[in-house]
Amino acid sequence: MLQEDLDVGRLDDVALAMWAGAVGALATIGDFAKPMGRRQLKKFQIPGWKTRKVAWETLPYDKQINLQGGGYQCMMTKLASKPVYDDVDGDRNLYLEPGSRVDDSSYPPQNSVNVNTNYYDRYSVYQKPQHFVVPPDQLQLDETLSKLVFQSIGAHRLEPIINSRTVNLSPIGIDGRMAVPASDLFSKIPSHVQEKAAFIVRLEGLFEQVTLRDDMQRWGGNAFFSKEGEILAIQYGGETQVNGEDPDRWNVLKFIFRSSLVSTVTTFDHLVSTHILAANSLAIAAVEALPHNHGLRHIITPHIWGTMAINIGAATNLFAPGMLVHRASPFDAVAFQEPNGDDGQLWKMIPALRYTKFQDLYSNYIHMKTEFVASDGKIPFVEIPFFEDGKILYDALNNYVASAVKAMYGESDACSSALQRDEPVLKFVTNFFDQNEHEKDFYPEEFRRAGEDCNVLVSFVTEVIFLVTGWHRHVGTVADFFRDTRFASTAWKKGEVQSPPKQSMMTQLLAATTNANYPKLTQSLSDIYSRDVQFKDIFDALHKSMMKVQQEVEERNEWREKSGRLGFHQMEPAHIEWGVEV
């Protein structure tokens, strides 16, 4: 299989090397240790994002980084130097005709599902459960696109339209000066569609200036939905298609929109915002500023275990030109790094990102539900599980952090007075925001006072822990979407509605790199962290609350599935790692 795929362009040397390095039995770790030590870490600059650094070392109790005596860097440099060949303009990198046979036990690569089976499923590299369970013959339906948005990874990208204005529901947004105004997009759809449109998902205005490789299709698109979640219209590249007018073109734009949505969330909401702006900042600040026996260090450590190790891989294999995201995208090398070493076109957008607190977004969600109540008192779209389940997980984390802060500093005014005398916490907050100085508008300004006010500290720590736990699971688990690249992909030939074999294999490799069996939020920290803990009672209370959240979400999912909806597992503590470990 491998040699044949190499010979006919369904695979190349770099794809084979990356696949061989990533695929195997899922890494399994059952516990992690108490923090030990504190020191300044040695770091290096992320290729293509020169103002941001990640650590290339960590402390002994953490998951270790093995650079193979310099061999790791040499391997990455060699892979990055190999040319990027898409092989989409000739008689190579093609699927076999139906009925074809191959000599070995692999499936004939007649479509991307066969590619996924040959390179991934047969090696059991994906975690369970599946979270986007849609029968193959229903993947192309309009209803499935609505499920992708309302009941899955696109939920936070929805913008309700209330009184002709859009309402933000996304923790990761962009400076309004960068986006195409929703009013401009709204005015370009027919009046009868405007009357029904209640939601928009905007992806236009982000990638138009990013240089493409030849023959590849640009990410982008906007989609309009009714109050009931029905897809009404899609815009792409100045074109507007209304549901029902041109079925063939409609299916093309649906594919572009689905693919662009998942790709954008993967790149900016997951990789940039969660791995680097949140997890990396939290991990480095905690290790460099907080003594090993500090209460806040004990609270944070479970949520940063393994972060240094995973982020050195992200920095070297995902941001740089010539590496995995570049090859599994439609963009040219300058999108990832300019020839003179300046930031890549994609990463130059990072300073425009803005974080909105989940608490504030949930208030927006409740306001939307109130506005959309029908005359019979019912809410047309039923619910958005990301917010419904996210809220109970968030509240449990908030109670956990608040209890720890109270235990460390006391209550009311005395709490903030004691906090202000805690020099390590002041250094921790300063370190965190020094790392984000070039993205100084990303986090709410109030978070900079986390070393002065206990309420702000609780809010800040809760939000970041939520980012690296439930949110990370929501935006970072993408294997189900890429099993069949006729549903969604990260790179495809212009005008086509499925990735070629090599691009399918690389897209699916992106998903395979986010899988491992590590401790989950339902496991008690009193057991896996250490029995000699500073906050045993608080850890025990957290465990009980996580089990309660798990039970409630399971009951909700039972109802959802009986109602013909998707189960939403992304806020189930039994499936959420303690931090950004994968």
pLDDT at 345 over 90: yes
215: left (phi over 0), alpha (psi -120 to 50) or beta: left
> Residue 533 has what pLDDT?
66
Widest distance between CA atoms in the chain: 76
Q: Where are the domains of the chain?
A: 139-256
In tens, the pLDDT along 443-478 reads 999 999 999 999 999 999 999 999 999 999 999 999
pLDDT at 67 over 70: yes
Q: What does residue 463 show for φ and ψ, rounded to 5 degrees?
A: -60, -45
- In order, the DSSP letters of 27-88 are PB----PPP----PPPEEEETTEEEEEEES---TTSPPP--GGGHHHHHHHHHHHS------
300 versus 22: which is more confidently predicted? 300
Dist CA 296 CA 280 (whole Å): 17
pLDDT at 570 over 60: yes
Residue type, 357: K
> Residue 412 has what pLDDT?
82
> Residue 360 has what pLDDT?
96
Confidence of residue 103 (pLDDT cuts 50, 70, 90): low
From the list 157, 387, 385, 390, the residue with the least C-alpha distance to 260 is: 157
pLDDT at 179 over 70: no
> Residue 176 has what pLDDT?
59
> Mean pLDDT over all residues of the chain?
92
Dist CA 497 CA 494 (whole Å): 9
pLDDT at 375 over 80: no
**Range from 123-127, 299-303, 551-555 carrying the lowest mean pLDDT:** 123-127
Axis-axis angle for helices 454-466, 412-420 (nearest 10): 80
In tens, the pLDDT along 299-341 reads 999 999 999 999 999 999 999 999 999 999 999 999 999 999 9
Q: Enter the tokens of residue 217.
A: 């299709």
* Percent above pLDDT 90 for the chain: 77
Dist CA 344 CA 394 (whole Å): 35
